[in-house]
Structure 1
Amino acid sequence: MPDDPARLRPFRVGDWQVYPEFNEIRGPAGSDRLQPRLIQVLRLLALTPGRTVTRDALIEGAWSRRMVNDEVLSRTIADLRQALGDDARQPHYLETIPKLGYRLIAPVEWLEEATAPPVPTSARIPADTRDAEAESATAMTAVSAPANGTSRRAWGIAAATLALALAAGLYHWQTNRLPSTAIDSGWSARLLRAQPLTSAPGWELSPRFAHRLDLIAYSETVPGSDTATLQLRSRDGRVQRAFTDGSHYDICPSFAPDDSELLWTRHGDDSCELLRAPLLGGAPSVVAACAVGVLSCPDWSGAFVVYTAPPTAADRGAGLARIDLREGRRESLTSPPRASGNDTHPRIAADGRLAYSRGVEGDRSLWLWQAGSGEQHVDFAPGMSYGQAWLPDGRVLTATDALGFRALVAVNPIDGAAELLGARGARYPDVAADGALVFEHASYDANLWQVSANADAPRRLTQSLRYDAYPRLAPDGVHVLYQTNRDGPESLYLLDLASSTESRLPLDPALRWAQPAWSADGQHLLLTRYAGASGPPRAAGGSVPEVDLWQYALGSDRPTPLTSAPAGAHDAQFDPDGKHAWCRVGAEHVARLQRFALDGSAAPFVRTETVEHYQIDAQGLFLVVDGDARLFHCADPLAPTCTALPIELEPTQRRNWAVAEGAVYYVAASGQLTRHDLVSGAQRALPWPSPGTLSRAIDVDRHERFAIIARTDRVDIDLQWLAPEAFGERDAPLRSVERSRLVARQAQPSPTFTSLRFARSHAIA
């Protein structure tokens, strides 16, 4: 190691010679010019080869005095691996140390001071562009290297030339194809400068900018309370005022076009109202009834308000409606089939188009509506959706986990091309006319807990800063398989309950792996692979499969595709006979159960129900039908008729149940975890904590000695905002008289009304 670590001394790492002074690496295939930040990170790791360097140390060393999060470092490591030709699954250079940092495992040799040999002119980056490149590179994702035999060095030269041509570089997330025109990555760079706007003890939700005033409206919850209060504050924080009195669950504020009024939704367990009130005083009035139990924020443009209305028929989902406030005329815009879910979070563009999401739970897609042409699906990967807004360049800014984790993504509504902007944990963004941005920032810890039948205290099994969920006990009762997003897209970990050790399955880290199921002998797994996280680019006029089934033998180095499975299959389980498997086919809201031969020797058997969740074992088939809070038992899984068990599931936890030998464990309508005896019919409330996540969060040892439960142990939701590049002179600054009137305004009293169930089910979704 050199005596002075600050010197730009060249070094050798593995097959590469690194010249920090020139931001260059040279290897057997030639030379490559890297971003300065990549060289800095590589050099920091080389100072202590073989030893773990924490994420904090790398961020401090390479981005000193700048606001950088883990996401930026993860991108940098990924780019560095690509430049070195390394593989995260079988690393030869950079090894990930879970929850800590990274380790350089290749040998390091420090070289004598020397001038780097010349490199091809086309690969050089002029000195006057290096600073701009360094500033922007931290927030950009790298262009994917071609999958064909093209030389890595040739691709590196092409990438450098492209970066020069576009000044700050053109980057995209590899899930979607490149747009026909260059994407301005200025938003990615700006997001690094996002600042906290609020940090009150409760949750701050659904922020919106005023159009001309420097106000932001949002909803705030208070710890221990079942209500949410609308708040108004100025951008500089000098004005802060409660707009509602805190006796309701009021969320999703939206300003009138002239900022004279505020529109919002008021939710109860069995009601939803769209209300409006003058900004500076006056009682609220009801505009319309909105869809009960559906989280959707309205939008207001001109004389029109667009919102999610109740379903128009029993076989339809909640669709969008538009009200003309001048004439009081209501018009239905969309009416999705019930199986397709609900249409939510409409945003109105300057040209009158609507962007909104359609679907249920974790399977929501981006849609457009336009007068004269109706609705149109946007060719972008589905996933959990957390609101959207229009960007000035005509793209839709959406908060989604479709690319592997929740973040802000800019989507071209014409062709679906997407750019990952960053801001991991962001939800419900809003963009002001001057380019300011505000959004929710949600962070949570979801961990696995073991609860025992002998009433011992619950034992925490994992401690994650992300989301550990979907526990599945092995037949031996000793191992637990679970999925987590702690290190990127969903991956699968195996936990040994006896030793408390865990290991990650050797699965492609660029893809999402979920819904594991054990074979009866505990030696094989069925896995669902989602290509939507970072699959191959979609071909023009077509697409790659978004989901398929794989089989993994414990101890092997990779899974194998299950080619006998039906197209579009997911959520598979082994049949007790060991020769067949069951799966759901189709999107979450229209999935039907199919039983197929593992060797492909027979045509699949298809059940007619649309199934949300199921479990198959020697006792038969148990299932929940879409939209039904009953649990059905099919003693003969191949028979058309099933029996509804005499239990009622908590409506928001219809997928949180598990079957043991002779019993079903479920979350009752009361919210209490309950045991139902399949023989006697007796029911017993359990002194166990209920699952704290929305789906498949419990598994029970088949001998009923204990259960594994996934719980959300911590949820923090506050607001962050990004100031415009330059405030300048606003069209209509907030006048001092308006400030004083706003501060003096008293909240209007109204009857007490709470919505605990709605708050709990939507705040952590």
Structure 2
Amino acid sequence: MNGVIYRFGEVEVDVQGRDVRLAGQRVAIEPKALDVLLLLLAEAGRVVDKRRLLSEVWADVHVTDGSLARAVTQVRRALGDDIRAPRFIETVPTRGYRFIGQLSSRPAPEPPPGAVDGAAADPPRTTDRPATSAASAVGSAVGAWRRRAWLGAVATLVLVVAIATALALRRPAAPLVAGAEDMGGLLLGAAEHAAVQLTTSRGFDADPALSPDGAQVAYSSDASGALEIMVRSRVSPGLARALTSNGGDNVDPAWSADGQWVAYHSRKYGGIWIVPAGGGPARQVAAEGSSPSWSPDGRRLVYQTAGSADVLGGTGGSPSTLAIVDLADGRVHALTRPGTPQGFHGNPVWMPGHDTIVFVSVQVPAADVWEVTPGRAPVRLGPCHATCRPFAFRKGGTTWVGAVRGAKAGELWTAPVSADGHVEVSRARRTAMPRTASITDIAVSRDGSTLAFSNAERTSEAWSLELPGGAARAGLTPRVLLAERRPRYSELSFSPDGSRLAYTTSRLGDRPEPWIHDLSTGQSHPLPSPVAGFVRGWLPDGRHVVMVDPAAPFGLQSVDVTTGLAKPLATFEAWRREPDAARRLFTMRLTPDGRRFLFTTEAAGRAGLWLGALDRVGEATPLAADASFGAWSSDGTRVTVQRMRGWRSGVGIMRPGDAAMTALVEDADLAWPNDWSPDDRFIVYAAMRGGRWTLEAVEVGSRRVTTLTSPGGPTEYVRWPVWSPRGDRVVYERGYWTGNVWVASLSAATEATGHPGT
């Protein structure tokens, strides 16, 4: 018998072959981490002391407990295990680790004579028995593997030299690079086990950018009451140094390749600015735009043409392309065009050592990552999330790109870049992130020596503004309606009689789910239905909520709020292959009678509002160009829209069938209308002015604007205002961001984890 094959869950481990498979697919695990797993399997059910693990797995080198912790983390990640609710590997505090899974084992088959892959002729029989009976077999297998290692190394070396010599005669030499799965593991391993908290703010310190050598970190901080760019030394943090102090709500810092300049975006004053890294006066180099990134030669900046609706960047659903400004003469050149690719283009990153730029094209709530080289057509790299922010760096002579995909708990996407500057998509890898991780953005120094990230968290509540007399008035004091702090309270919707409020909420790492709040009792509860997803409104009977279920993303469902029973309301099969299908459903709004609907789509880079009917879903017609996110008046005869003005937006109204649109609000940076008063006299909307969000209402007849809430702080926002059918209140989401910056040495992480990194 050659050894033992273990099975637990969907995992099979061939001890002798050192092969791990999950659901039949081979899983890559580093040798040391695999040795840890084998020892835990051999002692299944028993606590394996840390000292034993360190002495047996790292017998030939002195390492710390951190190396063991990183190995266990890699095993957990590879097996899909969760440290909070472990199925396989349990941490025993202060002692060690224990394998707790249901384990079975069988003898490994003997290879038939002359077999290369060791496949058995007959399927082996599986027997359930205590795994500890195989401890000696595993021990001998690990020991035998070590004893044979040097002999195998000699033979392998001879073979490698022969092959390398032959290949050298046929083609130019190319540098060897680590697999992308190793790079993802290295970055996450450093974030999980080697990171040190750089800032300790109770407010917002986030959006880090590293100097080229990784010695200094620039980030955005609200410590002064406005967002300013601060700089700290990574080696000896000490006090932070204010690089800006103009109250400009400055974000998106980016270091030049020579470390002499920092570029940033001002949410208050607008555009792209640069400031000497050592301090000094700042100057504006582009009147519009945000999210700057330097060219490798330091002579140009690429940026998105839209300003930022969010302190963590992105287009925020605003039309945007990419542009390049030449710092010598100030000339601006378009890099991408509207509609090529589809979506709004943002968060560009210029690759070190290449003339290629990686960016995100957003069609809220979805997005894709693309690459583009000046003068060439963009190339799609893969899916992402509307808030993902790519990063790029060089390590071991190779350029790497990456992005955190998914909101909060998601995955880290990494890929190497070829010598001619193109992302090698075939070698891209996805590394699962722990669900407890709160990594919102990642930065790596250009030389690949240092990692920085922020753990920014969004917290929100539902607030209520009482309206005596049912009219919009300034100076009123809002109060908290739903005080449990959650990541979002979105898609707020009153029942037709105003007695209940439906909304979408979630917890970190969990799926969005619908809830109902009873305004008479003050009680809230989840909708008693297995349907999860986003609330799209109520049906006229007041008994059914309309839902978009992510599990069935091309249709609407009607859910009884009392029984939880769900039934299909409409399907949109014709949309299934459309690139913006998610956006269409995400922006859908039903008329008060539940018969017609509005949705937003895109053509040639321009957002447009379309009109359809539930009994003829395949016959939608265009309603307005350069408009999005429509909301019906209470009588169903008019629509208020987000009227686009470049990347900015205002409030407009129109009647279906009438091409004319009346502009009501045009002086805000962003104005996002969401509801009408029950008498259709007012429209309530979230407005951003000078980087600060507030709640406003515009009177339709006079176009008079009333500020309903005071402007929030630089990291606060308001969303989803809805006016009660009773006219007595407006309910809205109020949220804010907090966070801190962390740093880690990738060189130290490479030595501790054994990742090659080069």
**TM-score category of the 2 structures, normalised to the smaller one:** 0.5 to 0.7
Contact 1:565 1:596 in 2 (8 A): no
1:562 aligns with 2:574: no
Give 1:380 shift: 1.3
Contact 2:319 2:606 in 1 (8 A): no
Residue of structure 2 equivalent to 1:605? 621
Q: Distance in 2 between matches of 1:129 and 1:469?
A: 57
3-state SS in 2 of match to 1:192:
helix
Give 1:408 shift: 6.0
TM-superposition CA deviations, 1:113-163 (whole Å, max 9, x none):
9x97644649999979999xxxxxxxxxxxxxxxxxxxxxxxxxxxxxxxx
TM-superposition CA deviations, 1:420-455 (whole Å, max 9, x none):
435424225234534421012212320112232246
Give 1:665 shift: 2.5
1:449 aligns with 2:463: yes
3-state SS in 1 of match to 2:190:
helix
TM-superposition CA deviations, 1:549-598 (whole Å, max 9, x none):
32122134555373257513313233345443333344897443333332
Give 1:668 shift: 6.2
TM-superposition CA deviations, 1:2-25 (whole Å, max 9, x none):
xxxxxxxxxxxxx99xxxxxxxxx
Give 1:296 shift: 0.5
Q: Pairwise mapping of residues 269-668 of structure 1 onto structure 2 (< 5 A)? A: 269-277=268-276, 279=277, 283-284=280-281, 286=283, 289-292=285-288, 294-308=289-303, 317-321=320-324, 323=326, 332=333, 334-337=335-338, 340-359=343-362, 364-370=367-373, 373-390=376-393, 392=395, 395-400=400-405, 403-405=406-408, 409-412=412-415, 413=423, 414=425, 418-422=430-434, 423-431=437-445, 433-454=447-468, 458-487=479-508, 488-497=510-519, 498-504=521-527, 506-507=529-530, 513-530=533-550, 547-554=553-560, 555-558=563-566, 560=568, 562-564=570-572, 567=575, 568=581, 569-570=584-585, 571-586=587-602, 590-600=606-616, 603-616=619-632, 617-628=634-645, 629-635=649-655, 637-645=656-664, 647-648=665-666, 650-663=668-681, 664-667=683-686
Residue of structure 1 equivalent to 2:733? 710
TM-superposition CA deviations, 1:665-722 (whole Å, max 9, x none):
235677664444556777655468889976752111112122211101x431220122
Residue of structure 1 equivalent to 2:201? 200
* Larger Rg belongs to: 2
Contact 1:316 1:336 in 2 (8 A): no
Q: Pairwise mapping of residues 5-404 of structure 1 onto structure 2 (< 5 A)? A: 76=81, 118-119=105-106, 121=108, 183-184=181-182, 185-193=185-193, 194-212=195-213, 214-224=215-225, 226-237=226-237, 241-245=241-245, 249-259=249-259, 261-265=260-264, 267=266, 269-277=268-276, 279=277, 283-284=280-281, 286=283, 289-292=285-288, 294-308=289-303, 317-321=320-324, 323=326, 332=333, 334-337=335-338, 340-359=343-362, 364-370=367-373, 373-390=376-393, 392=395, 395-400=400-405, 403-404=406-407
Q: Distance in 2 between matches of 1:684 and 1:120?
A: 77
Give 1:75 shift: 6.7
1:697 aligns with 2:715: no
Residues 120 and 611 of structure 1, relative CA distance in 2, 3 Å threshold: farther
Contact 2:216 2:231 in 1 (8 A): no
Give the total of aligned pairs. Answer: 566
Contact 1:446 1:710 in 2 (8 A): yes
3-state SS in 1 of match to 2:600:
strand
Give the TM-score normalised by the residue count of structure 1: 0.62
Matched AA of 1:548: F
Q: Distance in 1 between matches of 2:330 and 2:348?
A: 21
Q: Distance in 2 between matches of 1:383 and 1:331?
A: 26
Q: Distance in 1 between matches of 2:246 and 2:570?
A: 54
Contact 1:471 1:481 in 2 (8 A): yes
3-state SS in 1 of match to 2:542:
coil
Structure 2: where are the runs of 5+ without partners? 1-8, 11-33, 46-67, 89-99, 110-125, 140-177, 307-317, 416-422, 469-475, 576-580, 752-758
Residue of structure 2 equivalent to 1:721? 743
Structure 1: where are the runs of 5+ without partners? 1-14, 17-32, 44-62, 84-112, 132-179, 536-546, 730-765
Give 1:385 shift: 2.8
Q: CA RMSD in A?
A: 5.0
Q: Distance in 1 between matches of 2:282 and 2:493?
A: 50
TM-superposition CA deviations, 1:391-430 (whole Å, max 9, x none):
7475522245xx3436662244425764343542422523
Contact 2:442 2:453 in 1 (8 A): yes
Give the TM-score normalised by the residue count of structure 2: 0.62
Residues 702 and 425 of structure 1, relative CA distance in 2, 3 Å threshold: farther
3-state SS in 1 of match to 2:727:
coil
Q: Distance in 1 between matches of 2:668 and 2:330?
A: 38
